[in-house]
Amino acid sequence: MWSVALAQQAALGLVGLGSTVVGTWLGGVTDESRRPSGQVMLRARRPFPGAGLRGLVTANLRRRLREAAAEADVAHVHLCRDYLTTSSVRILRRRGVTIVAQPHGMLTPGGGFAVRVFDWMFRRTMLDAVDLWLALTDREERDLLAFGVSADRISRISNAAKDLSVAHPRVIPGEPVFAFVGRLEERKQPDVFVAAAIKLLEDYPDTKFVIAGPDQGMREVVMRSIAASGRADSFDLLGPLERDRVASLLSRVTALVLPSRGEVAPMIVIEAAGLGVPSVLTTDCGLAADIDRASAGVVVAPEVEATRAGMADMLQSREYVEILGQRSRAVYLNNWSMEALATSLTRLYEHAMTLGREK
């Protein structure tokens, strides 16, 4: 969410609107004197052993929010079922600031005992305090309605990413290269990517595969599958990369492959589209409809054989990949560019302020 908030801050700057991003970080944080102006990063901590992300706390949150709110017309809160963002909503409401909430698909219905207790304690606070709710997908809009949000207080928004196409011009590789870029976690299914890649090698033995991202429980599974395939020479496991290196990598692959389940609006797909790189996405990705509507990529089921077939489809010809990349770039410019986001945010904030006055 930090990267999304920074992108929104940059977009607002394009139209001359100032903003302050206040966030919390579990672990070490960069010294304030070394951070860019307009960014406040507070160190979060667990108040007791075993406390999950939902229960994190931080010092100085109230003071920092009050300082930011003193000069703000609107507060854009990236809201989850957690103490920090929920208490932020309460603090900001008391300061009389218009509140726009963006939950990133986190307010899904149902859940276990802890979720039900949290909703019992804080749901009414959120519903009463927030002036406008932002949904990234149709599914999230339905979830917000189920959560109790009125339909007239829900608007749609798209994420955005900086245009890095000048710094990293598109180069379609001579031999096909597919990249998985993301956290190595169960939901993103890097194991499905590897299994599909191994199958694809049976028909396209010269294909290469790159895996980049931090380990969150699946690295060993991925490494074992690659080793057992006997085709380790076809894989490059890079680990986590800085954003500039991610852009450099994406600009030089045939396509991005993201066989995830439960994706809302992955930034990596937006970044790839901005570079003119097509994607193989699953039907469980919130951006799949935009890509499919523009015939700008391949949308498949989140399964091994379907992912293999999606990559094989990309290998029809170099011209086909180029066309898909051009269409992806057009989707980016129309929906996910910083300029498009700036226009959207200013419209949404004005709408939220109107709704706030009507309360």
Residues 196-223, mean pLDDT to the nearest whole number: 96
Query: Reduced to 3 states, what is the DSSP secondary structure of residue 274?
Result: helix
Here the tokens at position 352 are 């939220």
The gap between the terminal CA atoms of the chain, to the nearest Å, is 29
Per-residue pLDDT for 179 more than 70?
yes
**Model confidence pLDDT, tens digit, residues 298-322:** 999 999 999 999 999 999 999 999 9
Please report, to the nearest 10 degrees, the dihedral formed by the alpha carbons of residues 253, 171, 336, 190 taken in order.
10
- The predicted pLDDT at position 30 comes to 64
Q: How is the chain split into domains, by residue range?
A: 2-160+338-358, 177-336
Write down how long the chain is. 359
Question: Rounded to whole angstroms, how far apart are CA atoms 255 and 251?
Answer: 9
pLDDT score recorded for residue 249: 98
Query: Which of residues 24 and 171 earns the better pLDDT score?
Result: 171
Topology agreement, domain 2-160+338-358 and domain 177-336: yes
pLDDT by residue (tens digit) across 51-90?
777 778 888 889 999 998 998 999 999 999 888 999 999 9
- What's the pLDDT score for residue 86? 93
What b/e sequence results for 46-72 when a residue is b if at least 16 CB atoms lie within 10 Å of its CB, and e otherwise?
Answer: eeeeeeeeeebebeebeebbeebbeeb
**Does position 10 have pLDDT exceeding 80, yes or no?**
yes
Region 118-127: what's the mean pLDDT?
89
pLDDT above 70 (res 29): no
Token pair recorded at residue 18? 């100032």
Fold of 177-336: Rossmann fold (3.40.50)
Q: Which pLDDT belongs to residue 65? A: 92
Tens of pLDDT, residues 252-291: 999 999 999 988 889 999 999 999 999 999 999 989 999 9
Local confidence band at 46 (pLDDT 50, 70, 90 cut-offs): confident
Strands 279-282 and 235-239: unpaired
Of the two residues 177 and 138, the one the predictor is more confident about is 177
State the pairing for strand pair 21-26/39-45.
Answer: parallel
Looking at domain 2-160+338-358, its CATH architecture is: 3-Layer(aba) Sandwich (3.40)
35 or 329: which carries more pLDDT confidence?
329
Type of residue found at 248: S
For the segment 132-141, the average pLDDT, to the nearest whole number, is 92
